[in-house]
Amino acid sequence: MRIERGTLADLATGAAFLGSGGGGDPYYGRLMAEAGLARHGAVELLPLDALDDDALVVPLGWIGAPTVSVEKLPGGQETVAGLRKLEALLGRRVEAVLPIEIGGGNGLAPLAAAARLGLPLVDADGMGRAFPESQMAIFNIRGVAACPAVMTDAGGTTVTIEHSDNLAHERIARAVSVAMGGIAHMAEYPLSGREAKAHAIGGSVSAAIAVGAAIRAARQAGGDPFAALYAALRASRLYPFAGELFDGKIIDVERETRGGFSLGRVQLEGFGGEGTMVLEFQNENLVARRDGDTVAMVPDLITVMDRETAESITTERLKYGQRVKVVGAAAPAMLREARAMAFVGPDAFGLGEPYRPIEMLNGWTAT
């Protein structure tokens, strides 16, 4: 499969949903990808198992507070500069790239550089959704080193982090992204093809495209985009359960930026005053409680969508009065393993309750 310019809108729609409220606005990622593909042609989407064991494969993405990226458009040279620096450091060529997270703008982040450098995009990512911190990547959960990592900014500055453990790497990278003006590009967790096949979350790029295509087709046919979304998620096998958690309007949003993160809480009310839902977020939506009962929590996906258009609404764009559906989906199985819970489960975000799968909380059955 090749990713053409015509594929980008679907990929952006799917990545926005998989962002679970975070990962940055896909709009700018799409603009950059469109410019890259227009100039350099389509990008090959490589199945994960087609990678050579010895290939050098590099996850890419932007790091920073998502609210910044709305105002400060990256320059586009950052990705190429970061890959070139990593190649110089490792003494070999990069053979394929993938998004560090499929959710949000980062789902499209590697495309412009892949087009320009003629590199394939691996059909996989490091999070299966979006998460706020680098050490929440499956590669860290599985013990892969984040370093050497290369950060670049629109001004041409390059910061290389080496010989750091993954937690110190996240702390340093976060501080550098703030010093770089709030957003920076990062190439991290350089992988062998063997490591990528063992640890990357395979099929997530094509799942995002399928999700976007399903929503688009339902809109065009005058059908129900939500039914199409749930069917596409289940069909992907990566997100085997999906459904509606709530239908209503937003009656309150609290939000603050702290330590480079966007933190907050959203309240919704059912139409006719029936029922309530409360969402808590840290860049991404972390937990959904309906009438006081938890109905979804990390690492499962929680996305707020416009109830008419099925457009995903990132946490920084949530507003009083929006009429929305809250949609949930089961996280990829690799994120639900016991070893993943310390990094991406409710305890990792201080939620104070044990993880329970979304399908159990909602009585959803496999199709």
In whole angstroms, the minimum distance from the beta carbon of 157 to a copy of itself comes to: 4
Element (H, E) at 225: helix 225-236
Residues 83-102 within binding reach of a copy of itself (CB under 8 A): 85
In the complex with a copy of itself, which residue's Cβ is closer, 171 or 249? 171
In whole angstroms, the minimum distance from the beta carbon of 183 to a copy of itself comes to: 14
Residues 164-183 within binding reach of a copy of itself (CB under 8 A): 164-165, 168-169, 171-172, 174-176, 178-180
- Given the rule CB under 8 A, which of 156-164, 249-257, 296-304, 328-336 is the region that contacts a copy of itself? 156-164
CA-closest candidate to residue 286, choices 361, 338, 348? 348
Query: Cβ atoms within 10 A of the Cβ of 269, count?
Result: 16
Q: Are strands 124-125 and 121-122 parallel, antiparallel or unpaired?
A: unpaired
Give the separation between CA 153 and CA 113, rounded to whole angstroms: 14
In whole angstroms, the minimum distance from the beta carbon of 170 to a copy of itself comes to: 9
In whole angstroms, the minimum distance from the beta carbon of 85 to a copy of itself comes to: 8
Task: Decide if residue 257 touches a copy of itself (CB under 8 A).
Answer: no
- Given the rule CB under 8 A, which of 5-13, 155-163, 233-241, 306-314 is the region that contacts a copy of itself? 155-163
- For 112, the token pair is 């412009």
In the complex with a copy of itself, which residue's Cβ is closer, 156 or 223? 156
Give the separation between CA 195 and CA 92, rounded to whole angstroms: 17
In the complex with a copy of itself, which residue's Cβ is closer, 77 or 362? 77
Give the separation between CA 57 and CA 36, rounded to whole angstroms: 20
Give the separation between CA 340 and CA 143, rounded to whole angstroms: 11
- Given the rule CB under 8 A, which of 65-73, 93-101, 154-162, 319-327 is the region that contacts a copy of itself? 154-162
Burial per residue of 310-338, b for 16 or more beta-carbon CB atoms within 10 angstroms, e otherwise: bbbbbbbbbeeebebbbbbbbbbebbbee
In whole angstroms, the minimum distance from the beta carbon of 350 to a copy of itself comes to: 21
In whole angstroms, the minimum distance from the beta carbon of 140 to a copy of itself comes to: 16
Number of residues that bind a copy of itself (CB under 8 A): 22
Partnered with residue 304 across adjacent β-strands are: 313, 326
Give the separation between CA 243 and CA 114, rounded to whole angstroms: 34
Q: Computed from CA positions of residues 27, 31, 32, 33, in that sequence, does the dihedral angle turn out positive or negative? A: positive
Of 83, 114, 130, 159, the one binding a copy of itself by CB under 8 A: 159
Task: Decide if residue 160 touches a copy of itself (CB under 8 A).
Answer: yes
Of 40, 47, 84, 157, the one binding a copy of itself by CB under 8 A: 157
Q: Computed from CA positions of residues 320, 287, 308, 362, in that sequence, does the dihedral angle turn out positive or negative? A: negative
With a CB cutoff of 8 Å and minimum separation 6, the contacts of 323 are: 248, 249, 306, 307, 308
Task: Decide if residue 156 touches a copy of itself (CB under 8 A).
Answer: yes
Give SS3 for 244: strand
Residues 57-86 within binding reach of a copy of itself (CB under 8 A): 85
In whole angstroms, the minimum distance from the beta carbon of 111 to a copy of itself comes to: 24
- Given the rule CB under 8 A, which of 112-120, 161-169, 272-280, 309-317 is the region that contacts a copy of itself? 161-169
In whole angstroms, the minimum distance from the beta carbon of 177 to a copy of itself comes to: 9
In whole angstroms, the minimum distance from the beta carbon of 149 to a copy of itself comes to: 10
Give the CA dihedral 134, 136, 137, 139, nearest 10 degrees: 100
- Contact footprint for a copy of itself (CB under 8 A): 85, 155-165, 168-169, 171-172, 174-176, 178-180
